[in-house]
């Protein structure tokens, strides 16, 4: 897929007309359109996270004015490119699990008009190949190759930056848009233009070229109505519109024989190429990708298999049948003769000819030596380790493809790497992510330790485990957004996952949450949790009520069944009228409301007014009766639980003991890391420091755990504000502590104070990250070495609370600590402003946000609140009973002693050094 040089649109300077002069975009547009228009366009938001579910709208009206002023579509394109902005009048809608999302017109577009840039990274051929090797198949669909200045380039839009261009779907029969390459600022860009007049409500599509896209088969056979537009004669767009022959799998033609696209080449989105799969098998880095790429490119049979699976996703009932029949899938145990001796009758499946064979290596050598992967293996001497590994990988790939077919059929025997003693259930087995072998779940950890195809590449947390047949081949493999697919892939392969994947509305709910929250990877667990909650409800409902699919839940005639199912899943006790899990009942209520919205949304799209009405009626019933039937009891249970729960706050002695313990531990771990930089020592110091910061600040542990390294690096080093009157002690406190800001609840900025000791530890941690194996991609201050995640403050505190010998270790957890401060602060005579400040530091809700006075406010908090925190640390808060912050005095010498230790912060060092020098 590529672009002919002839069709390239160079955007020349409109004033000089010189094609070599690229536009000075910012200025020329300001002039051309006037500052007002520029400003109005600048303010167009593409923030998807804020939009309503499944519909990220940009308001249309301002658009017409803007568009009328545009004369040349290419100039318009350049204008948008310069501002990294999308056109208004577009909306992203979720279409179905097969097609995923699509872009729809909210306002009309005229023929030839610029619509949107296909935004992404511009990368060269080598980088594109590298990314293809590591990308999941779903992500490869966002890469477009094209030719420019005789070289192959790629726009990689795999990263979801919220732009619309990346979400345009393919239509090879009747596209209404076309994608063209234009040059702006001496760089090529891909832009999408209207091919004809487009009316509001139409899905915007362009052809991915003459690619062999799997979904096209379905369209032409009329199996799945992926596009409501009438089918045309199938003519390709006129020449010059950058469409022509290429293959879905790819850029193989483009780069295999060294011919970099001729004029008939087209723009198309590529997936994996054969060359990729060869490369994959040679560097053994992405076994999954290579297996599928090969599977698809090798023949129609496998292609059909994969996409018939996708169509299953559209019909929950069919998937459910498949699920039920998964119990007919077995892993046969080892066979024995009547005398009990073992029979070696295991068959392996050839990856190339799909035949079952007992001697697979010999077969590959004799029959398929021309296959590049086999030929590569045969270049190594017989008996060599390399040859063995490559052939083993091919063997696993063949078995994997066969297993995939069995799982899809729902019947048969899977081929494992090692046969179990007895016949076993397929659910107890799982594929290794690296070598594709099928292993007993119980023993996979052992295999992972020694898997020869395991790469040393950094893996995301949890991704290094395995993948189940279900996870890689489930009905969600296509159509679901890449992000949600990843979230599903990281879920445990069990009945719950099968239920989730088989129900289109749970998937839609997942998409809904993913669209809202997915940009923050920290929220992916929440998306998973929401799907799991609803999945459990469905499983329970299937057992006890006639409800079979989530869609049935939002039918008003089933309302009481829904209530029954919710009660069951939340552990309702009929006699006591209480819930075991009261909050779950409330959460499920909210999810069902969203579900009703999703059903009605889909029904409206399908023009199914009956279904839409039902969903609306459900919502009405929910509003009127849910509380009476469920929420009232849940809230009562909840209140009673809280009422009865004793208020556990830490003993002052325990708090002191913990602080002392951590201080000592900090010293020893600091010395250990300074003298011996290992990941173990790094982690020890990180754990201690994290605990100290959480405890000292009484912050939510999650907020501190997620502290980005940049917050520390760019910490506040403001000077004392001249205009604010501080006591001497307060001034010293300001110099003593450092103030940094992190993201708190609801995205609020929350402050964290660091003592000099904490700073010292954090400086050392920062310095030793690299040598101790913390990847540079890990953004967290308290990182886990060899991973991209962070340590968890709650785990650290729990361990240290026990280790320090506290009487009541449970009370030393961060929430209890925060309550402790809140409770003990009542002994002080704090005025309203002071209470606000304390609340702000603790991350409780604050009544007044003084954003405009950030600096003095920060200084004030640092000066005043640090007194309270220090008093707490030393267990002396009681001494200040009845005093307000102004009256609290802390022995300056205690502070000075600490200050003098801290050499790295040499602000105002002289005066304190003079007074406290041993001389
Ligand atoms: C660039 S993305 C388009 C946005 C995608 N629909 C989404 O939700 O992320 C390309 C992917 O969309 C899907 N796709 C595009 N056109 C399609 C069509 N006509 N029918 C089904 N799926 C399509 C394919 O999975 C393809 O890999």
Domain boundary among 614, 645, 676: 645
Residue 141 Cβ inside 6 Å of ligand 1? The answer reads: yes
Q: List the 203-206 sheet strands across, edge first.
A: 55-57, 90-96, 100-105, 203-206, 169-170
pLDDT of residue 669: 94
Return the H-helix or E-strand segment holding 319.
helix 316-325
Q: Is residue 362 part of a domain?
A: no
Q: Which residues contact 574 (CB under 8 A, 6 or more apart)?
A: none
d(CA 492, CA 441): 11
Q: Is residue 503 part of a domain?
A: yes
pLDDT above 70 (res 422) = yes
Residues 638 and 663 in one domain: no
Residues 587 and 659 in one domain: no
Least confident interval from 184-188, 329-333, 716-720: 716-720
Q: Is residue 449 part of a domain?
A: no
Higher pLDDT among residues 774 and 436, named by residue: 774
Question: Going by CA atoms, what residue is nearest to atom 23 of ligand 1?
Answer: 99
CATH number of the domain enclosing 47: 2.170.270.10
CATH number of the domain enclosing 692: 3.90.15
- CA 169 – ligand 1 centroid, Å: 5
pLDDT above 50 (res 15) = no
Residues 586 and 732 in one domain: no
pLDDT in tens, 734-764: 666 777 877 766 666 777 778 888 899 999 9
- Residue 813's domain comprises 652-907
Residues 604 and 691 in one domain: no
| Cβ 801 vs Cβ 658: under 8 Å | yes
Domain boundary among 271, 306, 334: 271
Residues 557 and 671 in one domain: no
Residue 336 structure tokens: 């024995």
Question: Going by CA atoms, what residue is nearest to atom 13 of ligand 1?
Answer: 99
Residue 142 Cβ inside 6 Å of ligand 1? The answer reads: yes
Residues 70 and 92 in one domain: yes
ipTM for the predicted complex: 0.99
Residue 481 Cβ inside 6 Å of ligand 1? The answer reads: yes
Residues 864 and 847 in one domain: yes
| Cβ 366 vs Cβ 429: under 8 Å | no
Angle at 385 between CA 380 and CA 387, to 5 degrees: 35
The distance of Cα 874 from the centroid of its chain, to the nearest Å, equals 42
| Cβ 648 vs Cβ 808: under 8 Å | yes
- CA 270 – ligand 1 centroid, Å: 11
Residue 759 structure tokens: 């700073």
Residues 621 and 657 in one domain: no
Residues 634 and 661 in one domain: no
Residues 590 and 674 in one domain: no
Q: Which atom of ligand 1 is nearest to the CA of 138?
A: 27
Q: Is residue 376 part of a domain?
A: no
Least confident interval from 90-94, 679-683, 821-825, 867-871: 821-825
Return the H-helix or E-strand segment holding 399.
helix 385-409
| Cβ 452 vs Cβ 437: under 8 Å | no
Least confident interval from 25-39, 679-693, 893-907: 25-39
Residues 562 and 633 in one domain: yes
Residue 298 Cβ inside 6 Å of ligand 1? The answer reads: no
Q: Is residue 792 part of a domain?
A: yes
Count of structural domains, the chain:
3
Question: Going by CA atoms, what residue is nearest to atom 22 of ligand 1?
Answer: 99
pLDDT in tens, 513-530: 888 887 777 788 889 999
- CA 170 – ligand 1 centroid, Å: 7
d(CA 588, CA 573): 18
Print burial letters for 747-780: b (CB count within 10 Å at least 16), e (below 16).
eeebbbbbbbbbbbbbebbeebbeebbbeeebeb
- CA 269 – ligand 1 centroid, Å: 10
Q: Is residue 364 part of a domain?
A: no
d(CA 618, CA 620): 5
Domain boundary among 630, 645, 660: 645
Which of 405-409, 706-710, 739-743 is modeled with the greatest confidence? 706-710
- Within 13 A of 368's CA, how many CA atoms are on the CB side? 21
| Cβ 58 vs Cβ 51: under 8 Å | no
pLDDT in tens, 96-128: 767 878 899 988 888 888 899 998 889 988 888
Q: Is residue 439 part of a domain?
A: no
Q: Is 796 exposed, middle or buried (0-12, 13-18, 19+ CB in 10 A)?
A: buried
- CA 313 – ligand 1 centroid, Å: 15
| 170 phi/psi in degrees, rounded to 5 | -85, 140
- CA 592 – ligand 1 centroid, Å: 28
How many beta carbons lie within 10 A of that of residue 99, not counting itself? 18
Q: Is residue 415 part of a domain?
A: no
- CA 914 – ligand 1 centroid, Å: 71
pLDDT above 60 (res 445) = yes
pLDDT above 60 (res 812) = yes
Q: Which residues contact 919 (CB under 8 A, 6 or more apart)?
A: none
The distance of Cα 849 from the centroid of its chain, to the nearest Å, equals 31
pLDDT of residue 278: 31
d(CA 301, CA 854): 65
C-alpha Rg value of the chain to the nearest Å: 32
How many beta carbons lie within 10 A of that of residue 717, not counting itself? 9
pLDDT above 90 (res 537) = yes
Residues 641 and 656 in one domain: no
- Within 13 A of 239's CA, how many CA atoms are on the CB side? 5
pLDDT of residue 405: 74
Maximum Cα interatomic distance, the chain, rounded to a whole number of Å: 97
d(CA 529, CA 551): 20
């Amino acid at each position: 897929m590529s672009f002919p040089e002839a069709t390239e649109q160079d955007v020349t300077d409109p004033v000089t007309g010189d094609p070599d002069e690229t536009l000075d975009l910012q200025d020329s547009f300001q002039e051309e359109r006037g500052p007002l228009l520029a400003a109005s366009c600048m303010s167009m938001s593409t923030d998807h996270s804020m939009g309503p579910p499944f519909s990220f709208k940009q308001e249309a009206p301002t658009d017409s004015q803007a568009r009328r002023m545009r004369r040349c579509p290419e100039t318009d394109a350049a204008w948008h490119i310069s501002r990294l902005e999308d056109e208004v009048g577009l909306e992203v809608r979720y279409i179905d699990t097969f097609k995923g999302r699509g872009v729809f017109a909210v306002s009309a577009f005229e023929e030839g008009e610029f619509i949107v840039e296909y935004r992404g990274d511009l990368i060269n051929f080598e980088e594109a190949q590298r990314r293809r090797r590591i990308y999941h198949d779903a992500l490869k669909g966002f890469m477009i190759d094209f030719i420019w200045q005789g070289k192959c380039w790629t726009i990689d839009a795999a990263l979801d930056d919220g732009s619309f261009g990346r979400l345009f779907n393919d239509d090879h029969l009747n596209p209404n848009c076309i994608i063209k390459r234009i040059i702006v600022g001496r760089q090529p860009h891909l832009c999408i233009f209207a091919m004809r007049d487009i009316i509001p409500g139409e899905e915007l599509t362009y052809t991915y070229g003459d690619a062999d896209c799997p979904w096209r088969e379905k369209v032409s056979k009329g199996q799945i109505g992926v596009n409501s537009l009438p089918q045309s004669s199938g003519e390709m767009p006129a020449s010059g519109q950058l469409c022509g022959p290429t293959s879905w799998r790819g850029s193989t033609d483009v780069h295999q024989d060294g011919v970099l696209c001729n004029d008939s080449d087209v723009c198309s989105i590529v997936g994996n190429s054969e060359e990729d799969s060869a490369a994959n098998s040679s560097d053994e880095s992405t076994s999954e990708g290579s297996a599928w790429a090969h599977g698809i490119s090798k023949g129609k049979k496998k292609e059909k298999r994969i996409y018939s699976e996708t169509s299953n996703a559209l019909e929950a009932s069919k998937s459910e049948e498949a699920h039920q029949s998964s119990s007919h899938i077995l892993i046969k145990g080892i066979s024995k003769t009547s005398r009990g001796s073992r029979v070696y009758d295991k068959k392996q499946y050839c990856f190339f000819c799909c035949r079952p064979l007992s001697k697979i290596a010999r077969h590959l050598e004799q029959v398929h030596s021309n296959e590049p992967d086999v030929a590569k293996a045969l270049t190594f001497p017989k008996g060599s380790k390399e040859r063995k590994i490559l052939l083993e990988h091919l063997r696993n790939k063949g078995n994997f493809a066969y297993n995939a077919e069995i799982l899809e059929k729902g019947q048969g025997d899977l081929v494992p790497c090692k046969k179990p003693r007895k016949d076993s259930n397929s659910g107890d087995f799982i594929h290794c992510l690296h070598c594709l072998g099928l292993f007993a779940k119980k023993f996979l950890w052992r295999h992972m330790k020694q898997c020869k195809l395991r790469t040393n590449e950094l893996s995301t947390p949890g991704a290094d485990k395995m993948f189940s047949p279900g996870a890689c081949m489930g009905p969600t493999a296509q159509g679901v957004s890449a992000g949600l697919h990843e979230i599903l892939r990281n879920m445990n392969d069990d009945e719950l996952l099968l239920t989730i994947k088989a129900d289109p509305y749970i998937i839609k709910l997942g998409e809904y949450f993913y669209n809202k929250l997915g940009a923050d990877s920290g929220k992916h667990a929440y998306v998973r949790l929401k799907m799991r909650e609803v999945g459990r409800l469905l499983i329970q409902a299937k057992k006890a009520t006639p409800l079979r699919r989530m869609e049935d839940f939002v039918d008003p005639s089933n309302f009481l069944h829904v209530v029954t199912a919710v009660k069951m899943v939340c552990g309702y006790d009929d006699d006591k009228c209480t819930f075991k899990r009261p909050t779950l009942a409330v959460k499920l209520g909210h999810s069902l409301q969203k579900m009703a919205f999703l059903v009605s949304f889909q029904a409206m799209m399908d023009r199914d007014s009956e279904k839409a009405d039902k969903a609306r009626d459900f919502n009405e019933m929910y509003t009127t009766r849910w509380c009476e039937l469920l929420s009232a009891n849940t809230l009562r249970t909840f209140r009673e639980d809280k009422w009865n729960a004793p208020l556990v706050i830490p003993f002052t002695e325990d708090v002191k003991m913990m602080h002392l313990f951590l201080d000592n531990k900090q010293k020893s771990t600091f010395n250990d890391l300074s003298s011996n930089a290992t990941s173990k020592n790094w982690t020890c110091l990180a754990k201690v420091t994290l605990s100290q910061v959480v405890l000292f600040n009484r912050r939510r542990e999650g907020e501190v755990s997620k502290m980005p390294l940049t917050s520390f690096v760019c910490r506040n080093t403001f000077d004392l504000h001249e205009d604010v009157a501080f006591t001497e002690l307060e001034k010293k406190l300001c110099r003593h502590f450092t103030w940094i800001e992190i993201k708190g609840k609801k995205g609020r900025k929350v402050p964290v104070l660091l003592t000099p000791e904490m700073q010292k530890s954090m400086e050392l941690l920062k310095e030793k990250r690299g040598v101790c194996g913390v990847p540079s991609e890990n953004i967290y201050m308290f990182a886990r070495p060899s991973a991209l995640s962070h340590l968890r403050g709650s785990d650290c505190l729990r361990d240290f609370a026990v280790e320090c010998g506290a009487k009541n270790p449970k009370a030393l957890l961060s929430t209890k600590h925060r309550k402790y401060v809140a409770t003990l602060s009542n002994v002080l005579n704090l005025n309203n402003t002071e209470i606000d400040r304390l609340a702000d530091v603790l991350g409780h809700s604050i009544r007044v946000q003084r954003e405009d006075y950030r600096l003095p406010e920060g200084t004030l908090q640092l000066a005043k609140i640090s007194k309270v925190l220090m008093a707490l640390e030393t267990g002396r808060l009681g001494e200040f009973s009845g005093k307000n912050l102004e009256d609290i005095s802390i022995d300056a010498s205690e502070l000075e002693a600490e200050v003098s230790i801290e050499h790295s912060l040499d602000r105002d060092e002289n005066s304190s050094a003079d007074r406290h020098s041993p001389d």
